[in-house]
Structure 1
Amino acid sequence: MKSITRLGWTAYAVAAATVVLDQISKLWVLSVLSREQGSTLPLLGPLHLTMVHNYGMSFGLLRGNDWGRWLLIGFSIVVVIGLAIWARKAVKLLPALGIGMIIGGAIGNNLIDRVQYGYVVDFIDVSRLYFPWVFNVADSAISIGVALLLIDSFWSEEKKLSHQTE
């Protein structure tokens, strides 16, 4: 009988590391750029640090409403709890890593930033590469986490299909 190793603690460790990296990067950027909206500093080629106060969510939804801020905080708490429960059941590395990155990104952006500043601190600016959004470490972690979950889903489906055809 094969024992199942649960990887919940792996997901929680990745979430904690993501929050730490996200918050350290934001503190550093705030010390370099200050909190002034739009202040920018060229780094390497198309990479700039640009201070953006993100009050809303994707495409500016819920922007400018104080109730929207608290709605996003509440929604994030529900998402983090749901993902933390899912993480406890993770038995494969890719989903554990992905879930951890999403949890850490949600905590960094939508909980800590929105409670502490009232907005999300965005600063990674590669708009010179025709990518119109300014983002941060937590955003990157969420995107990579979702990609890892999708990759695992495709691999699992592919394995399932190959076993059915044998």
Structure 2
Amino acid sequence: MSLNKSLLLIAAILIVDQLSKLYIKTHFVLGEPVEVFSWFKILFIENSGAAWGAKLSDFLPISERSGKLILTVFRLFAVAGIGYWLFDVIRKKSSKTLIIAVALIFAGALGNIIDSVFYGVLFDHSNNQVATLFSDDPYGGIFHGKVVDMLYFPMIDTVWPEWVPFVGGNNFRFFEPVFNVADTAISTGVGILLVFNKKAFGNTEETDSIEGNQTASKE
């Protein structure tokens, strides 16, 4: 897969991701749900931390603002690393499966880092109001934006039977997390690497094996 095709895939994901986030941010109040189907809802939430809303300040003796800055800087380095990985696998002409997977992961990571870096200075808050783009009173600062999530699939929403030990009578909901297009791209890329591991890394391994055999025969 060529560099140009990889860039087209990344651009397509970024456009869909950012347009969906901009629409939600400028049309929804924080926490506002819209039911599309019984098993799918649009639910606007914002994630100021890492996966599942975790924050560094929950684990380290630092302020929430400092923790957010550290997390954003870490994400920037991670995106740079994934970008180099993508360039490297394309340069080595690795398998198409591997290149697509890494491109998906890179696009998703870049999509979320855009929120973290810029949204704090582009929007005002969404609490009890619809946010304004290019607001004169932004809710944060550079590197202190919150990631916009909106895709919610409560495919099963029920109550555990009373006879079930420990959880009987408690609510049970599957699938609980709220995510976005960028998260979907990352999960899909990781899933491809896990499910099609041999196919993804096959070309590189075969090339190394051939080169090793040629070197051994010359010796």
TM-score tier, shorter chain, comes to 0.7 to 0.9
User: Paired residue for 1:99?
Assistant: 102
User: Paired residue for 2:22?
Assistant: 27
Could you state the TM-score of these two structures normalised by the residue count of structure 1?
0.80
Shift of 1:158: 7.9
Q: 2:43 aligns with which of 16, 28, 50?
A: 50
Q: Secondary structure at the match of 1:114?
A: helix
Q: Spell out the pairing of 1:115-154 with structure 2 (5 A cutoff).
A: 115=117, 116-117=119-120, 118-129=145-156, 130-154=174-198
Shift of 1:126: 0.9
More helix by share: 1
- For 2:17 and 2:201, the matched residues in 1 are separated by 33
Aligned residues: 154
Shift of 1:156: 5.5
- For 2:188 and 2:201, the matched residues in 1 are separated by 20
Specify whether residues 8 and 60 from structure 1 end up closer, same or farther in structure 2 by C-alpha distance, changes over 3 A only: same
Shift of 1:142: 0.4
Q: Is contact 2:34-2:41 (8 Å) kept?
A: yes
**Identical residues among aligned pairs (%):** 28
Q: Deviations over 1:97-134 (max 9, x none)?
A: 1111111111111x211121321100001124311110
User: Paired residue for 1:113?
Assistant: 115
Q: Deviations over 1:17-42 (max 9, x none)?
A: 21111001111222332xx3211111
Structure 1, unaligned stretches of length 5 or more? 1-5
Larger Rg over CA atoms? 2
- For 1:81 and 1:138, the matched residues in 2 are separated by 16
Measured on the aligned residues, the alpha-carbon RMSD in Å equals: 2.5
Could you state the TM-score of these two structures normalised by the residue count of structure 2?
0.62
Structure 2, unaligned stretches of length 5 or more? 58-63, 121-144, 157-173, 210-219
1:51 is matched by which residue type in structure 2? F
Specify whether residues 63 and 101 from structure 1 end up closer, same or farther in structure 2 by C-alpha distance, changes over 3 A only: same
Specify whether residues 63 and 125 from structure 1 end up closer, same or farther in structure 2 by C-alpha distance, changes over 3 A only: farther
Specify whether residues 83 and 158 from structure 1 end up closer, same or farther in structure 2 by C-alpha distance, changes over 3 A only: closer
- Report which structure shows greater RCO (CA 8 Å, sep ≥6): 1
1:124 is matched by which residue type in structure 2? L
Q: Is contact 2:193-2:200 (8 Å) kept?
A: no
- For 1:39 and 1:10, the matched residues in 2 are separated by 37
State the 4+ residue runs in structure 1 displaced beyond 4 angstroms: 156-160
Q: Is contact 1:55-1:63 (8 Å) kept?
A: no
